[in-house]
Structure 1
Amino acid sequence: MKPIRAARATALRKNAPLGARNRNAALALLVGAVMLVATACGGDDGGDAKGGSGGSGKGGGKNAASAAVVNIVPKNKAADVATDGTLKVTASKGKLTSVEVADDKGDKVPGRITKGGTAWEPSEHLGPNTKYTVDAVAKDADGRESAKHSTFTTVVPKDTFVGYFTPEDGSTVGTGMEVSLNFNRPVTNQKSVQQAITVTASPSVPVKGHWFGNQRLDFRPENYWAKGTKVKLSLRLKGVEGADGVYGTQSKDVNFTVGRSQVSVVDAAKHTMKVTRDGKLIKTVPITAGSPSTTTYNGKMVITEKYKVTRMNGDTVGFGGEYDIKDVPHAMRLTTSGTFVHGNYWAGPSTFGSANVSHGCVGLLDHRGANDAGTPAAWFYDQSIIGDVVEVKNSKDKTVDPSNGLNGWNMSWAEWTAAQ
């Protein structure tokens, strides 16, 4: 049966009118031509850059490839890339319209397009041991787009470092507070590290940094902060090479406010302390300073810690077994080496305002237990905050070392800002 049907179908086609056969032939030719055009226009160049639509029709019309060329350094899939100075995105025969660089967590790297649209550069260091993707788009003079995608991985560090900062984020401090950073590893590339740290103030004043050795960097303005100043510490240490093969990991902002200006001036010869707040004397307090054999440092000292009750042991500050008082009341630290302004319940009341008998601290009359709010020491403790200043004068001792506590105020502005 199949051969008979096939023969019958062939006979029917042969017996079709001439006009119909011509129409069928013309239709077949037209379909073939369309398929040929579609094949010619559907090719792929297989490169990293992709031409987009648009343009005025020059060089092939609307669908011609973009003349813009995007270049990315380092090359695709590069490894051990430096965290600074290597990443560059440029465009030739066109201008960059979009550059996005992101790490493997999706966090974007900030940057900006420069040189009239022909280059892009990151505004921060890249992180170490991190994979990054780069996606860039450029347009030529006719508006046609060219895009490029690339990946690379940064160098693996030998070690990392961080900076422990003072004061705390969100804190309210006194007029003498310095911004202090203590690094957990020695820093040999001090210029690079300092450039990655900024301290700004509102109202604006110049704020400069000063290194004490290779693990501490402090910032301060020329004079004490003004009341109400808002201060911002910006740490951009991630990817900064602090020493050979040692890279930073922090990218953080810290904000604090200067609550008021309180400066208390201790006159060791007169045995008094005058407490001035926002330019107004609010109280004169009788004190005892260091004895002739254990004098108190002169100079400007900043309160860095407060303890309602603390232990003071002479063994810890080089005085052997001369004292070990387990419950010193209302104590506030002025130096790293152990100078405090604190309450004193063991000296007679007549001592305060008339004699210097301490081991170098500034003592105020107090009661044992720190529970009497009416004593001079309790009053001063309650009136003081971290960052307040205590200035000592007329003591028969040297000026406190600027690095002994947050006491850089004892350096002139010229000394503080001198090249190091």
Structure 2
Amino acid sequence: MLSLAACGGGGGKGAGADGKGSSTQQGKQQSAAAVTISPKSGATGVDTSGALKVDVAKGRLTEVTVKDAKGAKVDGSISGGGASWTPSTHLAAATTYRVHAVAKDSEGRESAEDSTFTTLTPKNTFLGTFTPEDGSTVGVGMPFSVNFTRGITNPQAVEKSIRITTQPAVDVEGHWFGNDRLDFRPEKYWKEGTKVTVDLNLDGVEGRSGVYGKQHKTVTFTIGRNQVSVVDAAKHTMKITQDGKVVRTLPVTTGKPGYDTWNGQMVISEKLTETRMDSETVGYGKQYDIKDVPHAMRLTGSGTFAHGNYWGGDAFGNYNASHGCIGLRDVQGGYDSSTPAAWFFDHSLIGDVVIVQHADERTVDPSNGFNGWNMSWADWTK
């Protein structure tokens, strides 16, 4: 009898004045909101894009937190009036994520759900090699340029994975040259002193079917003083301007007839104190092979340089005698810091702009070097 009384006590009046038990009270307090997390907890080999989603029925989401094992958060947004949450970017490969989601029903009662899953480990990967270097100071014409080790067939996903912020703020847009190079620049030359930060988040982005990026790093660079140099191929002069003011005019020689220098805006992409120039490497046969060209600065990928010239005689400022390069008077060995070539080399940054005018040649192709400034903004963003 004692045992029966003890077991049946929950249904007696002792449980409450109305005879209803505490389990019913708890049932009233339970939220009607039902949270669903995809993928299921414990899943492995999860796709880095399109697989993660949080939904709720009979309620609205109020909080969704997704973190990797190191505590780094995944950004995302709640949509549909609180009905679902999706990440704003792809996930990293071979990474374990933890999801915590909270929802409320129509009476404000909360419901929570947690999940843990691991993304796929790719068999095939790609990298992006970039310029300028992290921490560098560059000229006003320098784009942020990325070359990929595999041809990209999903350009929107890759472009979305590269986020550029600037101080002061300026709109920066990307442009593809083929399927393996992506350059970013503003509409006009960078403003002097601009701080540029690039979040290069390629880890886990599917650049082509079954091929995933495998790097995530932050790159910062600063825009230096505003230097633009204007070469007049007809007058054989170069005017170097800083902040729009001419600071020096130098005599030059440009491409002779049949080897005319490109017209247009070109960006210094490389500086070499001394280099070898062999005509065979640019398709000119055995016309020259100079092993010690001083103070050389590359302007195009096809081999146009502004460089020191110690063999040009009286050509500088008088006539055009080069095979397409911009030559400035120099000495063999480049030891004399007072020569025009040495002065220009010492006062130039990678990313400075050199504009050539009045040459008997067409405008340089925008993809030939970092010379996208020869495209209109409409074409660049198209």
Structure 2 partner of 1:240: 205
TM-score using structure 1 length: 0.80
- 8 Å contact kept, 1:124–1:236: no
Is 2:46 aligned against 1:85?
no
Candidates 292, 298, 309, aligned match of 1:344: 309
- The alignment's C-alpha RMSD in Å is 2.6
Q: Evaluate the alpha carbon distance shift between residue 399 and residue 95 of structure 1 in structure 2; reply closer, same or farther with a 3 A threshold.
A: same
Please, which runs of 5 or more residues in structure 2 have no aligned partner?
Answer: 11-21
Post-superposition offset of 1:220: 1.6
State the distance in 1 between where 2:168 and 2:71 align. Answer: 36
Structure 1 partner of 2:226: 261
Q: Evaluate the alpha carbon distance shift between residue 323 and residue 63 of structure 1 in structure 2; reply closer, same or farther with a 3 A threshold.
A: same
Is 2:378 aligned against 1:387?
no
Candidates 335, 352, 360, aligned match of 2:300: 335
* % identity of equivalent residues: 60
Is 2:176 aligned against 1:220?
no
Post-superposition offset of 1:34: 9.8
What pairs with 1:9-408 in structure 2 (closer than 5 Å)?
A: 33=6, 60-61=25-26, 64-104=29-69, 107-140=72-105, 144-348=109-313, 350-408=314-372
State the distance in 1 between where 2:9 and 2:201 align. Answer: 59
State the distance in 1 between where 2:247 and 2:200 align. Answer: 38
CA deviation map 1:45-84 (0-9, x unaligned): xxxxxxxxxxxx9951599544332211122333443221
State the distance in 2 between where 1:141 and 1:394 align. Answer: 73
Structure 2 partner of 1:17: none
TM-score using structure 2 length: 0.88
Deviates more, 1:408-417 or 1:95-104: 95-104
Post-superposition offset of 1:33: 4.3
State the distance in 2 between where 1:389 and 1:67 align. Answer: 64
Structure with higher helix content: 1
- 8 Å contact kept, 1:171–1:255: yes
Look up the equivalent residue of 1:245 and give its one-letter code. G
Helix, strand or coil for the counterpart of 1:209? strand
Post-superposition offset of 1:269: 1.1
Look up the equivalent residue of 2:131 and give its one-letter code. T
CA deviation map 1:32-53 (0-9, x unaligned): 849977xxxxxxxxxxxxxxxx
Helix, strand or coil for the counterpart of 1:128? coil
CA deviation map 1:171-194 (0-9, x unaligned): 211111111111110001112222
State the distance in 1 between where 2:116 and 2:8 align. Answer: 39
Count of residues paired in the alignment = 370
CA deviation map 1:258-285 (0-9, x unaligned): 1121111111111110111101011110
CA deviation map 1:151-205 (0-9, x unaligned): 3333343411122111122221111111111111000111222222233333333
Post-superposition offset of 1:107: 4.1
